[in-house]
């Protein structure tokens, strides 16, 4: 995927500073940043999926309707 982005002056300055300190291509810096952000989101997503599954399982538990 090819992206064309526009960033504000402060973000551009930060990106330039990162590039100067690491000698990395700006595209690689952005890719790594997206990767880190994605990893941070995954635990939240997993929690949501697990919680949803638990509620679905609770709803599917057979109820013993016989009363003695």
Query: What is the 3 state secondary structure string of the chain?
Result: CCCCCCCCHHHHHHHHHHHHHHCCCHHHHHHHHHHHHHHHHHHHHHHHHHHHHHHHHHHCCCCCCCCC
Provide the percentage of residues in the chain whose pLDDT is more than 90.
35
At residue 2 the predicted structure's pLDDT band, cuts being 50, 70 and 90, is confident
Q: For residue 40, what pLDDT is reported?
A: 83
At residue 6 the predicted structure's pLDDT band, cuts being 50, 70 and 90, is very high
Average pLDDT over every residue of 9-14: 95
């Amino acid at each position: 995927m090819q992206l064309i982005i526009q960033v504000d002056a402060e973000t551009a300055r930060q990106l330039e500073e990162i590039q100067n300190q690491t000698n990395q291509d700006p595209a690689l810096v952005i890719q790594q940043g997206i990767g880190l952000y994605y990893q941070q989101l995954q635990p939240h997503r997993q929690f949501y999926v697990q919680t949803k599954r638990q509620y679905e399982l609770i709803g599917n538990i057979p109820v013993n309707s016989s009363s003695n």
